[in-house]
Structure 1
Amino acid sequence: MDVPKIALKGVKKFFGPKVVLDGIDLDVQRGESIVIIGGSGTGKSVLLKSILGIIQPDAGTIRIDGQDTTHIGGRERERAMAKFGMLFQGAALFDSLPVWENVAFGLIQGQRMARGEAKERAVATLGAVGLGPDVANLFPSELSGGMQKRVGLARAICTRPEIIFFDEPTTGLDPIMADVINDLIVKCVKDLGATALSITHDMASARKIADRIAMLYKGRLIWVGPVSAIDDSGNPYVDQFIHGRAEGPIQMQIRAF
């Protein structure tokens, strides 16, 4: 059997007495798109940051292409990071740089590509997400939210990464623009042949971009399965979450004023 692109085994993370990740086991196969769902504060972002090496797990191992990356640093970490692209939650563009430099940031800073060549690649990548060359010299403040998200996606794929992370890719977008972004994500991941790991609480997005869905609750993956099986999970926590019901085993903490 092929070595998983990403393999998590027994990953734990604590912040003081709070258990955020409580023994995560998950394999992501090459070319697969996995979406992790779960409510706010369930540890989705901590899991993503642990894989990226921004946060060190307190236990367990994280392997990328079979290499244990749990505690690597320096050049080894840089080499591992070169495989990743990321679409951040709020697009996270640099306000002081024009659009093309935002898109080409990884090429110029990470790969030391010449600026002229990097700009050509950036403009071509903008075209892949439906933005014309006229957008390249604009600044992020001149773009709508949907256009900023497209630029963020272009930056995520411009280095032609092997693995792409999507952090709440449709947050802040209207339903139509969210669907446009979802379609673009599916297309770009397929065109690159990349492996994708996304975190979201938008079920429309999860259904569209996932091959498999994993639900995180209280630091544990309580259900993992194909997207086609999500409506028949047989898990009351999953059922409550995907249908957005107030009543059920998941109790939201509401403070009295």
Structure 2
Amino acid sequence: MSKGESVVVIGGSGTGKSVMLKCILGLLHPEKGQIKIDGEDTVSLRGTKREHVLKKFGMLFQSAALFDSLTVWENVAFGLIEGAGMDKEQARIIALEKLSKVGLGEAMAEADPAGLSGGMRKRVGLARAIATEPDIIFFDEPTTGLDPIMGDVINNLITECVRDLGATTLTISHDLSSARTIADRVAMLYEGEIIWTGGVDQIDHCSNELVDQFIHGRERGPFALEVT
């Protein structure tokens, strides 16, 4: 991936999208191969070297993964306080700034995450993902569980925030509308392998039969579907 590029990895359930992401983040250890960040293989990194790499990352989880024991602003500032060691007063200022970027005012800062709608939780999760101004941001199914209108809102917020940061982004998704909005390039994962990659403008005219079936949602095709 090039610096500042937005790549969306698409594919059916169980094809390895989440496993790939967990391997990059170090949550799972790959059995073989390399994962290079800025030219450095990170698979064998441990301790402070691993932490240095992780500080380059931001992450928006599928369910937002907010801490219900913390207020909204404390969730956004979590990485600043716990990771960067920033004092709470300064971290709160930055948290409010990032909340504003995702359309949430200061009145939301002290709110309880448990009382937020799905769309608002995603916004808070996005604010947290960009709070440390990371070089690389990962998005795990950013529009899952949202209605089409809120999904479009989140897509546009992602595009705006990433553009302002100049960050490189990797998204895993099965939402083709989202992919068309946020991607520069799309990659198709099938049975653990990337079988096609190309510009988002090429996806509707791809000659790969697996990609064509997935994109157009056809029941018949080379995809093996188990229906019981």
TM-score range, shorter chain: over 0.9
TM score, norm. by length of structure 1: 0.88
- Summarize deviations over 1:127-155 as a string: whole Å, max 9, x none: 00010000000011121111110000000
Q: Where does residue 191 of structure 1 map in the other structure?
A: 164
Q: Where does residue 25 of structure 1 map in the other structure?
A: none
Q: Where does residue 42 of structure 2 map in the other structure?
A: 69
TM score, norm. by length of structure 2: 0.99
Distance 2:189 2:42 in 1: 22
Aligned residues: 228
- Summarize deviations over 1:194-239 as a string: whole Å, max 9, x none: 0000000000001110000000001111100000100111011101
Q: Where does residue 113 of structure 1 map in the other structure?
A: 86
After superposition, residues 1-257 of structure 1 pair within 5 angstroms as 28-255=1-228
The residue type paired with residue 145 of structure 2 is G
Q: Where does residue 23 of structure 1 map in the other structure?
A: none
Distance 1:35 1:115 in 2: 35
- C-alpha displacement at 1:60, in angstroms? 1.0
- Summarize deviations over 1:36-69 as a string: whole Å, max 9, x none: 0001110001111111111111111111111111
Larger strand proportion, structure 1 or 2?
1
Q: Percent identity?
A: 62
Identify unmatched segments of 5+ residues in structure 2: none
Distance 2:35 2:53 in 1: 12
Q: Which has the higher contact order (CA 8 A, sep 6+)?
A: 2
SS at match of 2:202: helix
Identify unmatched segments of 5+ residues in structure 1: 1-27
The residue type paired with residue 230 of structure 1 is I
- C-alpha displacement at 1:251, in angstroms? 2.2
Segments of 4+ moved more than 2 angstroms: none
- C-alpha displacement at 1:252, in angstroms? 1.7
- C-alpha displacement at 1:186, in angstroms? 0.5
CA RMSD in angstroms comes to 0.7
- C-alpha displacement at 1:76, in angstroms? 0.4
